[in-house]
Structure 1
Amino acid sequence: MATIIDGKLLAKKLNEDTKTNVNKMKKQGVIPCLAVIIVGNDQASKRYVRSKHKKAEQLGIKSIVKELPEETTETELLKVLNEYNHNNDINAILIQSPLPKHINEKYIMGQINPKKDVDGFQIINSGKLFLNEAENYPVACTPKGIMKMLNEYNIELVGKKAVVIGRSTIVGRPMAALLINAGAEVSVINHYANVSDYTKNADIIVSATGKLHTVTKNDVKQGATIIDVGQNLDETGKLVGDVDYQEVYEIAGYITPVPGGVGPMTISTLMTQTVELTKWSDSL
């Protein structure tokens, strides 16, 4: 049976470290500040933004939430973003996705000040990640949180075979880059592939498809590490991941549960990265 990678426990530990760092910074007269811009009425996005705001305040981080109506134009959004980009009191900027269809999301994300890009999606920071630059820069929070989980549980990456299922710019692509940079041999596929052809001999599997039963016990070798990023509802309405958890748990070496695995790490990593951006800026 697998060792469960406890994302809740690790996120709590990271949050405690973040709060300690924030308190130290406050003694130096610096308060980290996260600004979130949300456009439209997507209820899932609003819930996520509320949870970010609440967590930031709990950790002593100043949180600004700018809510803009659905009909906001690209020009109007850029005006707000430009103000935040040049506001020295704001250290981290996040534009909540998805944006309304009339706004070019890729273009907008590219306009975030790279030094304040807390989500790590800005093209300059993405380029630094893929080039494995040695300097400080932000990285997409979910993959960065997964790397912390792997490190916490002393899971070896150098020379290991890793498969990333999913090619999104939010998880799949930056996850692959981080694993490559850590010395793993990485394959990136989508759920349309014959998953087992790639995963059966993999030491590490990261699934981020949002599709039930993407990974079953027939796709996994004994002792593999399974990272489940998916969030789906099963036929009973229960929140589950991409992985057939109960069956895979019996043969995996390590596995993340859903809920309680990767999810808590995303927000805690966002908070950690807000503090890091503050440290990397001219604020200290």
Structure 2
Amino acid sequence: MTAIRLDGLATAKAIKAELAERVVHLKQKGITPGLGTLLVGDDPGSHSYVGSKHRDSAEIGMHSIRVDLPADASAADVRAAIRDFNNAKDVTGYIVQLPLPFGLNTNEMLELIDPAKDADGLHPVNLGKLVLGVSGDLNSPVPCTPAGIVELLKRHNVPTVGAEVAVIGRGITVGRPLGLLMTRKGIDSTVTMLHSESRDLEHAVKRADIVVAAIGVAHFVRPEWIKPGAAVLDVGITRVDGADGKAVLAGDVHPDVANVAGYLSPNPGGVGPMTRAMLAYNVVKAASL
């Protein structure tokens, strides 16, 4: 068996084309969606990711503003930048790029974001609406990576109703909100949340029709764990030493899983592009309200 590729690049491209059409219509009404990003520090991965978000914005036709602060920026500096975005009329949605440097309180900064402009969907108000089952209504955005995973499954016609789903990883950006999304009406999956302290994790994964690996351990999910024909989505990514001694990127899923799974998202090229597409979706949607 060779797994069908859950192509995040192609799917994200289709979503961005749809968003570009929406932006054209909004501009005809005098509305231009605007993305803001606040990046603190010098993390190369964060700089690359933020840069890609602004390229997406230009491709879709959105306005964008980028604010970069040094790693030694004070909490007061970060608070001021967040307030500026809250007050900026040309920014309809923005993000505070995570992780923040040591010494800055992530939860405090996220709580300062205007929930209506929370493009990542991580403000406590928006996460609370997700728990209540009303996230996605009115001005409550859904966290981007979980939304991207659901959309990737939907657009590849992967059955979710009644499906057993194993989510490996309980982080606030992926695992926890994904578990809530997958049980919503219309998706109707049964979710098992797994983490580093879960007993008999392998057995739980073997039962699953859909496996989402978001634990950040290279090649953690082994082919012998996977039910034949299951859909496997590889979210986590880490740097490991390659054969030549140079650092390379590796996902949470072992490459040989492709010989067992029915569907497999590549990493990179799977969930990552979908996360960016759903971020753009949240910004455009906020401008539409």
Task: Report the TM range for the smaller structure's normalisation.
Answer: over 0.9
In terms of mean alpha carbon deviation, does 269-278 or 189-198 score higher?
189-198
Q: From 192, 207, 212, give the equivalent of 1:206.
A: 212
Please tell me the root mean square deviation across aligned C-alpha atoms, in Å: 1.4
Contact 1:213 1:244 in 2 (8 A): yes
1:184 alignment counterpart: 189
**Percent identity of paired positions between Structure 1 and Structure 2:** 35
Contact 2:237 2:251 in 1 (8 A): yes
CA distance in 2, matches of 1:118, 1:69: 22
1:39 alignment counterpart: 40
CA distance in 1, matches of 2:275, 2:94: 16
Q: From 244, 247, 250, give the equivalent of 1:240.
A: 250
How many residues are matched? 279
Contact 1:191 1:214 in 2 (8 A): no
Q: CA deviation at 1:27?
A: 1.3
Runs of 5+ unmatched residues, structure 2: none
In terms of mean alpha carbon deviation, does 265-274 or 133-142 score higher?
133-142
Counterpart amino acid of residue 36 in structure 2: A
Moved over 4 A (4+): none
Contact 2:219 2:250 in 1 (8 A): no
Q: Is the counterpart of residue 218 in structure 1 residue 224 in structure 2?
A: yes
2:169 alignment counterpart: 166
Secondary structure at the counterpart of residue 211 of structure 2: strand
In terms of mean alpha carbon deviation, does 116-125 or 82-91 score higher?
82-91
Give TM-score scaled by structure 1 length.
0.94
Q: CA deviation at 1:43?
A: 2.1
Runs of 5+ unmatched residues, structure 1: none
Secondary structure at the counterpart of residue 226 of structure 1: strand
Counterpart amino acid of residue 14 in structure 1: I
Q: From 136, 139, 149, give the equivalent of 2:152.
A: 149
1:108 alignment counterpart: 109
CA distance in 1, matches of 2:159, 2:8: 18
Secondary structure at the counterpart of residue 110 of structure 1: helix
Contact 1:195 1:219 in 2 (8 A): no
In terms of mean alpha carbon deviation, does 66-75 or 203-212 score higher?
66-75
CA distance in 2, matches of 1:9, 1:264: 9
2:95 alignment counterpart: 94
Secondary structure at the counterpart of residue 44 of structure 1: helix
Give TM-score scaled by structure 2 length.
0.92
